[in-house]
Amino acid sequence: MVAKGRYHHGDLRGALLDAAEALVRERGTDGWSLREASARVGVSPSAAYHHFTSRDTLVRALSERTLAWLGERLRQECERAPGQRNDPQQRLIALGRGYVSWALDDPAVARLVLRGGATGPRSSISTHPHDVLTAELDRLTEAGGLPAPARSGAEFVLWAAIHGLAVLLADGLVHIDGSRAVDLQTERVVRSALNGLAQETSPAAGWPTAHSAHTERLARHRSAREESECKN
């Protein structure tokens, strides 16, 4: 019904995304088709093809929209973090809690967008969760809460810790009763990861460089910009 309402206001693309999101929650990542999403909105598949050429393109657009929403949510969680002036880790603890609670509250959609290939080389995500995480780690380093030598690649260490907890809880491999207890466990994971980073000793060859689809996009955009500046 929401999707049809949005369509009648002229936003067929948004209505199809809403329908796809509802289908993911009901049936999982692969248990539905573009035709079914079109039927929910009340249009023919040919009308949907004007916006999405295939189910895969619809799924990718939904992933991009969800990641942008998540990035903004995590940014706001950081801004609302209590006691951040006295405890510089609080902003990252708030980010971790926001990530874990989202994954537990909306597990089907989380699985959709956090798998390999969810976004592509041309994806554009205005507030990407990775960018929020890197900005907060930069802030922590500038505040003296993380040694500068430990900053390189720290986002992948912390992401692994937070995401690992979220997946273990969402898949039922670890059980923690109550949202308050989950928040406390998330805080422990975040603090342990940050404190471990602060005390680490780098190997002689340095730590391996990690990449994600988003960081590879950023690198390509940076390279293209630098090439363009050189030509000018």
Same topology between domain 1-53 and domain 63-231: no
Fold of domain 63-231: Tetracycline Repressor; domain 2 (1.10.357)
Q: What confidence tier does 152 reach under pLDDT thresholds 50, 70, 90?
A: very high
Fold held by 1-53? Arc Repressor Mutant, subunit A (1.10.10)
Sequence-distant (6+) residues with CB within 8 A of 54 are 34
Comparing 8 with 124, the larger pLDDT belongs to 124
Task: Write down the mean pLDDT value for the chain.
Answer: 91
Residue 84: which pLDDT band, with cuts at 50, 70 and 90? confident
Taking alpha carbons only, the member of 121, 119, 24, 109 closest to residue 34 is 24
The structural domains of the chain, with segments of one domain joined by +, span 1-53, 63-231
Which residues have a Cβ under 8 Å from the Cβ of 230 and sit 6 or more positions away? none
DSSP-derived secondary structure for 161-208:
HHHHHHHHHHTTSS---SHHHHHHHHHHHHHHHHHHHHH----TT-PP
Q: Residue 108 has what DSSP assignment?
A: H
pLDDT tens figures, 33-60: 999 999 999 999 999 999 999 999 999 9
